[in-house]
Amino acid sequence: MFDAILVGAGPSGCAAAYDLAVAGKSVLLLDRQPFPRVKPCAGALTIKTVRALRYSVDPVVRTIASGIHVTNDLDNPTELRSQHPVCLMTVRAEFDHFCLQQTIAAGAHFHLIDDVCALEEKDDHVALRSGTAEFCARFVIGADGANSKVRLLLGDQPWFRRALAIEAHAPLHKDSHPMEIDFGVVPRGYAWSFQKGDHLNVGLYTEQQGIKLTRASLAEYLKRKFQREDFDHFVGHYLGIGGVGYTPQHQRIFLVGDAAGMTDPVSGEGICNALKSGQAAAKAIIKHSDAAQVAYQANLAEIHDDLEFCERAIGKFYGHLGTAVSALRLPGIKRPLMKGYANGMTLSAIRKSIFSLPFGLGSKT
C-alpha cells in the first residue's frame, strides 16, 4: 500500500511525486516507457516554468533566449527583446530524464508497466491493475498525458479537448534567432523554430479541431522560411486542453497536467501547468488527506484563472491575427509583456499590468 501512485512520469507526475516524497509519503511512479524516452515537445521552459520547478535544471539547458522573433505568416518581423532571459531551451528526453532522477533521489519509486487496465476506488484506497500486476494506494493521480488512460477509465472527459503539434529537428540556420514564432502559418496556431545548440527544433501547433498537420505541411513551412526542407526526428502528439472545466470527481483519484487539459490553448505551453497542477494535487494530499478532493479543486484556482483568460483570448487573438501581431509592436504592450515573461508571470497576471489591451481582453467581459 503506497500513499500515492502516479500514473505517468512526465513533468506533472514527477512534480507531484517529488513533493509527496519530500513530505515523507511513500510514492510509486508508473510509466509504460523506460527513461530516457522521446516525448514530442519543443522543450521550451518559460521563466514561470523554471520558477515552478523545485530544483535547478541548468545541467539540461541547451540555450537561453532573451527575445522572441515574431512574424505574421513570415511577414512583418518583430523582435520582442528582453534584458533578461525569457525561455530556457531543453530537449525533452534530457529534461524528463533529469526530473525523474531528481524525483527518485527524493525518495519516489519508479516501475515500468504495460498499461493501466482497471481502477477501483474504495473507501480508503484505490486498486490499480496493469496487464501484469496489481497496485494499491491511498491516492492515484493520472499524469499520463493528453491520451490519458486514467481519464478514459474514469469516463471523466466532457470538458476535455485536444490540440495538436508536430515537430522535427532541422539543421542550424545562419539567420535564425534563438526563439522564433511565425503566426498565421496554420489556423489558430503557429510555427516555431527554437535553437537547441546543435540543431533547430521546428514545428507546427494548432488548437483548431480537425486540422491535419503532416510532414508535408512542416516541409512546406521550412521551405518558405529557410529555403530548405530537410529535417529528421519527425514526431507529433496531442496536447490536453479544456482543463478550465476540470473538477475532480473522485475522492481518491485525480488528474493533472495534460490528462487534466491543463495546457494553455493559445500557445500550447503545457509544462508549467503540468508542474503546478501536479504540485497542487500533492499539496492537497499532504495537507488534507481526508478532504483532498475539495483541497485539490481549491488549489487549482490560480491555474483555472489563467486558463479562463487564455480561453477568452484565443478566439480574439487568432480571429484578428494581423491586428494582434501588430499590437505586439506597441511599446505599451511589448514592454510589460516581455518584462512579465522575464519575471515569470502568467498571461493573466501580465494582462493586469497592461494599460490597454485590444478586443476587450483587459477586463473580464
Contact of 281 with 41, CB cutoff 8 Å: no
Which residue number, 9 or 338, has a Cβ lying nearer to ligand FAD?
9
How far from each other are the two terminal CA atoms of the chain, in whole angstroms? 48
Q: Which residue is nearest to ligand FAD (CB)?
A: 270
Output 42 or 284, the one with its CB closest to ligand FAD: 42
> Considering the complex, what minimum distance in angstroms separates the CB of residue 116 from ligand FAD?
5
| Closest CB 35 distance from ligand FAD, rounded Å | 8
Q: Which is nearer to ligand FAD, 296 or 357 (CB)?
A: 296
Find the shortest distance in angstroms from Cβ 323 to ligand FAD. Answer: 26
- In whole angstroms, the minimum distance from the beta carbon of 87 to ligand FAD comes to 8
Residue 103 or 357: which CB sits closer to ligand FAD?
Answer: 103
Residue 263 Cβ vs ligand FAD, minimum distance, rounded to whole Å: 5
Footprint on this chain of ligand FAD (rule: CB under 6 A): 7-13, 30-33, 39-44, 113, 115-116, 143-145, 149, 165, 167, 203, 237, 239, 257-259, 263, 268-272, 274
Cβ 89 to ligand FAD shortest distance, Å? 8
Which residue's CB is nearer to ligand FAD, number 162 or number 320? 162
Q: Amino acid identity of 73?
A: D
Three-state secondary structure string covering 9-72: CCHHHHHHHHHHHHCCCCEEEEECCCCCCCCCCCCEEEHHHHHHCCCCCHHHCCEEECEEEEEE
Q: Report, in Å, the least distance between residue 331 CB and ligand FAD.
A: 27
Between 113 and 354, whose beta carbon lies closer to ligand FAD? 113
Q: How far apart (Å, rounded) are the C-alpha atoms in residues 28 and 40?
A: 24
Alpha-carbon span 84 to 342, nearest angstrom:
6
Residue (234 or 359) nearer to ligand FAD, CB: 234
Side-by-side strand order, sheet with 44-46: 44-46, 87-89, 63-65
